[in-house]
Amino acid sequence: GLASGPKGGTRAAYVRYLKAHFPTLCSAVGAETFYERYRNAAVHEFSLKAGYAIGRDSGLKGAYTDTQLISDTGETITLLNIDRLVSDFLSHVEGLLARAKTRKAP
């Protein structure tokens, strides 16, 4: 809802929103990549795209993304730090709420 666009324009609106409000995420994984490989895949396909996964901050040691070799398959995957993404999103929402309260204050 925060990044919705007109019919046929949701992707572009979402990517613009990411670039404007989540620059660290965009520099780590790219706005288009995040939209296509994580967000869009999870929402519409109930899974992430092949070669992409999420990981916890404890394993990623603060990095937004990292790659990992899966020894069983020989595949290299890109991990996204889900804890960091959630923290950044909640911080963003808190900022929106604070601005909304400021506008309503007498």
Count of beta carbons in the 10 Å neighbourhood of residue 70: 11
Question: Tell me: the pLDDT tens digits for 5-39?
Answer: 778 788 899 999 999 999 999 999 999 999 999 99
Count of beta carbons in the 10 Å neighbourhood of residue 24: 11
DSSP secondary structure of 8-50: T-HHHHHHHHHHHH-HHHHHHH-HHHIIIIIIIHHHHHSSPPT
Question: Tell me: the pLDDT tens digits for 60-79?
Answer: 999 999 999 999 999 999 99
What pLDDT does 98 receive? 92
Rounded CA-CA distance 38/30 in Å is: 11
Indicate yes or no: pTM above 0.85: no
